[in-house]
């Protein structure tokens, strides 16, 4: 790959040095003196977001959330960024993901179309969601899903529940509707129903890490910690970079007295999320667990290291 200096980047992207430094201070890109073509792709995306007046804090929050729910190392390069109102969503593997709300959205921009890669720096802007209209006649599953998402955006949770139920009546294995229904019931503290819909979601899509993470959360609320641990383990198995799953798994292991696996997942968490209050809490838990003498010994010497063989000394005779 070719290498570009900072001056090359400023010239190619037509941005000022203060803008580049601002992205670095915001944690959107690392400070460096040379850049690859992939770095330029990420910077073009940031420039396009700046032109759309998206705040740096909002970009950073969305990137961190997308890393957590998808396991992607760099969502700005590995997924297509779509601006939805004041938030960012991402198109990834044929799905539209709102990482902040941890929900799948209806991608009406691409409904019925082949998903083609987009040029770096290309930002899609979705129109503001409209107020939901009453169901008139029989609508398609796609239309119902869009109406349900719009209802949630307007705060009409019970109307959204009704629409998602209609979707599942037409298409029982609709994983996105199951996830969103499970989340709505979780918010309403109906954990039994929430569990049922999350289980339906992972049965419909066994490779869906977020589904297992959400299932782990509701099982934790139901005080079924061993089952919760199993669900979180599925999530990190599918997405090893899923920071939130490592965090919750470490908590669950601690609550069940399994301190060594808890320590491993606290360590995994701080490797992914290096700063912020949750990272500080994780480091505090690591220090506390390492202060336990048996655990500290086990951690410092995880494997048996045999002593080197003694060599016979030569002597003159």
Cβ neighbours of 10 (radius 10 Å): 16
CB-CB contact of 20 with 10 (8 Å): yes
Query: What pLDDT score was predicted for residue 191?
Result: 92
Cβ neighbours of 172 (radius 10 Å): 11
- The dihedrals phi and psi of 80, each to the nearest 5 degrees, come to -90, 125
Query: What pLDDT score was predicted for residue 224?
Result: 93
From the list 3, 65, 9, 81, the residue with the least C-alpha distance to 36 is: 3
User: Which of 277-293 are b and which e, b meaning 16 or more Cβ less than 10 Å from the residue's Cβ?
Assistant: eebeebeebbeebbeee
- The dihedrals phi and psi of 92, each to the nearest 5 degrees, come to -145, 125
Statement: residue 96 has pLDDT above 80: no
From the list 134, 144, 186, the residue with the least C-alpha distance to 165 is: 144
Query: What pLDDT score was predicted for residue 265?
Result: 94
Cβ neighbours of 304 (radius 10 Å): 5
Residue 249: which pLDDT band, with cuts at 50, 70 and 90? very high
Q: What is the pTM of this model?
A: 0.56
Task: Look at strands 80-84 and 34-35 and give their pairing.
Answer: unpaired
Mean pLDDT over the full length of the chain: 75
The lowest-confidence range among 106-120, 204-218, 253-267 is 106-120
Statement: residue 316 has pLDDT above 50: no
| Rounded (5°) CA angle 68-216-291 | 75
Distances (CA, A) of 117 to 18, 77, 93, 121, 184: 31, 11, 11, 12, 32
Strand partners, 88: 83
* DSSP assignment string, 141-193: HHHHHHHHHHHHHTT-HHHHHHHHHHHHHH-TT-HHHHHHHHHHHHHTT-HHH
Q: Between 73 and 34, where is the model more confident?
A: 34
What does the DSSP 8-state code read for residue 244? H
């Amino acid at each position: 790959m070719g290498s570009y200096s900072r001056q090359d980047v400023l010239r190619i992207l037509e941005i000022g040095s203060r803008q580049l430094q601002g992205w670095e201070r915001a944690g959107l890109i690392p400070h460096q003196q040379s850049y690859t073509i992939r770095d330029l792709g990420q910077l073009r995306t940031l420039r396009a977001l700046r032109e759309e007046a998206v705040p740096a804090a909002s970009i950073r929050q969305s990137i961190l959330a997308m890393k957590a729910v998808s396991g992607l190392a760099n969502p700005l390069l590995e997924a297509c960024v779509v601006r939805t109102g004041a938030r960012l969503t991402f198109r990834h593997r044929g799905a539209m993901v709102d990482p902040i709300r941890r929900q799948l959205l209806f991608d009406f921009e691409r409904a019925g179309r082949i998903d083609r890669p987009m040029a770096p720096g290309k930002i899609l802007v979705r129109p503001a969601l409209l107020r939901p209209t009453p169901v008139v006649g029989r609508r398609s599953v796609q239309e119902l899903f869009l109406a349900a998402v719009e209802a949630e955006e307007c705060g009409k949770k019970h109307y959204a529940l009704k629409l998602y139920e209609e979707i599942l009546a037409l298409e029982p294995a609709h994983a996105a509707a199951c996830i969103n229904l499970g989340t709505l019931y979780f918010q309403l503290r109906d954990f039994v129903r929430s569990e049922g819909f999350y289980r339906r979601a992972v049965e419909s899509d066994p490779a869906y890490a977020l589904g297992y993470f959400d299932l782990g959360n509701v099982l934790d609320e139901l005080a079924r910690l061993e089952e919760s641990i199993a669900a979180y383990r599925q999530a990190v198995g599918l997405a090893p970079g899923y920071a939130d799953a490592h965090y919750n798994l470490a908590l669950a292991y601690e609550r069940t007295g399994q301190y060594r696996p808890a320590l491993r997942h606290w360590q995994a968490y701080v490797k992914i999320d290096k700063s912020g209050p949750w990272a500080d809490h994780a480091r505090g838990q690591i220090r506390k667990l390492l202060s336990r003498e048996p655990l500290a010994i086990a951690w410092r010497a995880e494997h048996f290291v045999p002593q080197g063989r003694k060599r016979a000394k030569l002597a003159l005779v």
